[in-house]
Amino acid sequence: MKKPKPETLNPAELVRPLVRDLQPYTPGEQPKTDGVIKLNTNENPYGPSPKVLRAVREAVDERLRLYPPPTADALRESLARHHRCTPAHIAVGNGMDELLALATRAFVDCSPPGALEHYRYYHSHGAAKVSLRTVQYFTPSYTLYPVLADLHGAQKNPVPLQMDFALPTVSELRRSKVWDFAAALTFITTPNAPTGRAYPLEALEEIIRAQERVVVLDEAYVDFAEADALALALKYPHVLVFRTFSKAYSLCALRVGYAVGHPELIGALLKVKDSYNVNGLAQVAARATLEDPEYYRDTIAKVRATRAWLAEALAELGFSVLPSQTNFLCVRPPEHPAEVWYQKLRARKVLVRWFDAVETRAYLRITVGKDHEARALVDAAKKILASRA
């Protein structure tokens, strides 16, 4: 066959078919104009601690020419003291999203069909067929999970939550015959996003004890909740807890997340990560964050207080408000479809989030901002209801 001339190559044909067909993750809108009430991406409205800002400013010097510590050892030691474990139980990522991708890379066999066995037997009785290619998760939950599965060529297994967004019991999952207790990687978002619902430790542990392979508990919003599941990652060798400095700790721009779990699983994440994956200023900021717990206890308490006020105010307007253990509310609005509400609020320069998916199409997700932002949202909602248009 005649070799094509370089100038005639079609760039689209140079992209892997898997990537060409990929439906990418859709991030929340970042406004380009002033005067917008931004309640769509779940940032902490209060910003980092002054001690964190000071630490970052002091780190901006000639050291910027140097590569950062490749495995963030000083930060891992700080996190280990914070969680009363060893640094070997901790991995740090460029945001929690990177850790989710690393878990897919490390624990899911995404080799092309035929290159390796699709299925292997790991059950002690030799009766359970295990798909090493399966990424499993409940729906609704974080919409990055299916994107990561597609990106790595994995098999997806989305399983619906109960009608009230509660976790199914293990008995219910067995009866459904849809849940894969031998899936290579299972993501459980707790508290859940986008619903805000927290899951009892006992319910999580029941599922964990039934799973044969890796379970990741995505605790991005756990600092706003009444309880956490970190103990499960230190108790069970196949469990990892992932957390972030973005939500409660106001470091979205610097991208810092971390994993807690068995050193063998942590070692696998470190083995497949990119070199120097967490920048130096991010490491400095995260360490300083851990040294100012009083500041963050105060800001988290403010968010919780505003969350309670906003939930009550919206309920009085006829919104159905789901119980939340996060820094956002998931609400079903009255009179108009959720998509219409999203557009009407946006026209009034109030940004919230609407997800066009079967389970969530009737709901809005509203970040809990400062008190004046919550009041602005409620005022806008009152005007929309009064207009009847």
pLDDT band at 343 (very low <50, low <70, confident <90, very high): very high
Q: Are residues 25 and 100 in the same domain?
A: no
Share of residues in the chain with pLDDT > 70 (%): 94
pLDDT tens digits for 48-101? Answer: 999 999 999 999 999 999 999 999 999 999 999 999 999 999 999 999 999 999
Task: Give the model's pLDDT for residue 122.
Answer: 44
What's the whole-number mean pLDDT along residues 178-204? 96
Task: Give the model's pLDDT for residue 127.
Answer: 33
Q: Are residues 377 and 247 in the same domain?
A: no
Given 291, 323, 346, the domain boundary residue is 291
Q: Are residues 157 and 272 in the same domain?
A: yes
Tell me how far apart the alpha carbons of residues 167 and 173 are, in angstroms, rounded to a whole number: 10
Tell me how far apart the alpha carbons of residues 211 and 206 are, in angstroms, rounded to a whole number: 9
What's the whole-number mean pLDDT along residues 362-384? 96
Q: Are residues 381 and 257 in the same domain?
A: no
pLDDT tens digits for 347-365? Answer: 999 999 999 888 899 999 9
Given 267, 291, 315, the domain boundary residue is 291
Q: Are residues 94 and 239 in the same domain?
A: yes
Total number of domains constituting the chain: 2
Residue 114: pLDDT over 60: no
- Which pair of structure tokens corresponds to residue 351? 């940004």
pTM summary value: 0.91
Q: Are residues 357 and 269 in the same domain?
A: no
Given 291, 319, 337, the domain boundary residue is 291
Task: Give the model's pLDDT for residue 33.
Answer: 75
Q: What string of DSSP letters covers 42-77?
A: ---TT-S-HHHHHHHHHH-SGGGGSPPPTT-HHHHH
pLDDT band at 16 (very low <50, low <70, confident <90, very high): confident
Check which CATH number belongs to the domain holding 241 and give it.
3.40.640.10
Q: Kindly state the DSSP code that residue 85 receives in the 8-state scheme.
A: S
Q: Quote the domain boundaries for residue 102.
A: 51-291
In whole angstroms, how far apart are CA 359 and each of 42, 160, 322, 325? 20, 8, 14, 19
pLDDT band at 18 (very low <50, low <70, confident <90, very high): confident
Q: Is the dihedral of CA 130, 138, 41, 259 positive or negative?
A: negative
Q: Are residues 256 and 329 in the same domain?
A: no
Q: Are residues 286 and 324 in the same domain?
A: no
